[in-house]
Chains A and B, each alone.
Chain A
Amino acid sequence: MDIITVENLNKTYETYRRGSKFSETFKSFFKREKVIIEAVKDISFTVEEGEIAGILGPNGAGKSTTIKMLTGTLFPTGGTINVMGYTPHKERAAYVHNIGAVFGQKSQLIWDIPPMDSFNMNKAIYSISDRDFKYTLDKLTGLFEVEDIVSKPTRVLSLGERMKCEFIMAMLHKPEVVFLDEPTIGLDVIAKQRIRTFIKEMNAQGTTFILTTHDLEDVEQLARKVVIINHGQKVFDDKLQNLQLVLGSKKIIHLMLTSPRTDIKIEGTEVAEKKSDYEYILEVNLANSSINTFIRNLTNMCEFSDISIKELPMEKIITRIYEGHGVSAV
């Protein structure tokens, strides 16, 4: 069952543009050139209940604007959003009772005092009973192993510790849907992994997560569905495993030769990187051929001491999509 339905969502806003010359700067005091920015253009997608959906896109693509409209904090210019039966921007107060949000670059914690005081603030805001509050807080601090740090001032905590507390803050009222805007930004690998494990555990208990991130590891480990936005438009909307098929059936071959070669030319194969005359990284298109045929052609051409065959890395697929290759607007 769909928990989020977005149809033809649009967001435009006005800004001003001026040149960097002194005369242009001076002129801008009297007259400014108005520019209309189309941040989000006709985006439609759905998210199922209990799903983890990733919204990806390069900087300035419109994904944060989309998330803000989904959380009801930004008014759309056009289109409709339905989350759990609510229209977020029209029924904000009632709607946000049922959602949580973590903004990786904006803290909900009060800087000078311990996170515990911020948690108590949310207890009052969400009218959480003493019993529920204690139960949920004990559970969440236990999962993150932060029982000792919630009483220290926020400003003395590390980024990883603060982010764990941000998650606790967002989950205390047991939201059905949680929006995560770059939740692992700036974290070390251990902290990232702890956050991902936490999201998986909460998701297993039924919470739906919408995730925007630049960290593809987040997407690979968490998201089952991916929506990619570029220049404000949706360019991909499908299951994560289908992302591999967007650029066709391709494999990456890492090859170590026994004798040097200046080039390798096989039909349906591109040299992605030549590290030396002995070491090549090839990109093989298997749309009209098979890996068997490729190996046979390779063996006929040269001798090699080592070979590895891998899927096209996610980073490469995403980069190609961002650059507008291999996929048209869906």
Chain B
Amino acid sequence: MKSNYPGIYRECIKVSFATAATYRFNFVLNAIIMLVSNVLFPLVTILIYGSGAGFPGWSFYEVLLIQAVFTLSAGISGALFNGILWVTMRHIIEGSLEIVLIKPVDCLFYLVASTFEPDSIGLIAGGCIMFAIAAGNAGAISLLMWLQFLALFLAGLLVMMGISFIMAATSFKWVGNSRIPEIFESIKSFGKYPQSILNKSAAAFAAFVIPVAMVGCFPAAALLGKASMPMFAAVIPCVLFALSGIFLYKYMIRLYEGVGG
């Protein structure tokens, strides 16, 4: 019998909101903290441009657009994928993955669905506001630019998804690797700024090796009419990243050994 995956996903989202509603104050506080801690970083950009300096070839609102796209991407991936790392780690440390494995669903899908994080709504809302302000001041945007933006933005989400799955998959072998997300957070920062400020090798790394430029810079560039062929070519490593994450996670599940009874 085939499982009803959309139905399961809907049920998981319902449960996530029901859980959030149980601790309403914590939910509101979390959403505000996420919003404030992530939306404050454009302040640096405001200070840079306010002092008369700037990123060569990029106006204030163009840089703000990159950071708005980055915030949106972080918010959406936070809601959809980020929970898998912590829940995988917890299941492995406690030896409780059996309760997922005895369900007739794809384990990776179920863990992703069941860790939907409504708290990220604050971040998504903040990203949307920043995006509206920046896009409203960035000049005319054609339909083609919107379509290019959408394609590259989705590719950026694939990177975030792939990274989350790869980090979670490593937990099966290296139990308790809680600092790995911090390393990725640092690498991800490359995507927050125009790639023109990076040297060639760093820019190539951010575009094709760990394609974090796709998380913020490239989709924003598409919306500003600055898209180039290398940016579209960078979609390929994004797709490969996502597929590698899925493959690695599914492979690593085989290594699960549980804990003593």
Give chain A's interface residues, CB within 8 Å of chain B: 13, 59-60, 63-65, 68, 71-75, 92-94, 96-97, 99, 101, 103, 105-108, 110, 112-113, 117, 120-127, 153, 181-182, 212
Contacts and interface: CB of A to CB of B under 8 A. Distances in A.
Contacts of A60: 260
Given A74-B256, A112-B19, A127-B2, A121 B12 contact: yes
A94 B23 CA distance: 37
Chain B interface SS verdict (over half): loop
A13 B261 CA distance: 15
Contacts of A64: 258, 260-261
Interface stretch (B96-104, B149-157, B182-190): B96-104
B98 A103 contact: yes
A73 B261 contact: no
Nearest to B11: A124
A75 B8 contact: no
Contacts of A112: 18-19, 22-23
Contacts of A107: 99
Contacts, number: 93
A125 B15 contact: no
A75 B22 CA distance: 38
B102 A110 contact: no
Given A68-B258, A71-B102, A73-B97, 6 more contacts: A60-B260, A64-B261, A74-B256, A112-B22, A125-B104, A153-B22
Residue with the highest number of chain A CB atoms closer than 10 Å, among B4, B12, B110, B257 = B257
A103 B259 CA distance: 13
A212 B103 CA distance: 20
B8 A110 contact: no
B11 A120 contact: yes
Contacts of A59: 261
B104 A97 contact: yes
Contact of B254 (A75, A103, A182): A75
A113 B22 contact: yes
Interface string B214-258: 000000000000000000000000000000000000000010111
The 7 closest A-B pairs by CB, nearest first: A64-B261, A73-B101, A124-B11, A97-B104, A73-B98, A124-B7, A124-B8
B99 A121 contact: no
B19 A110 contact: yes
Contacts of B18: 112-113, 117
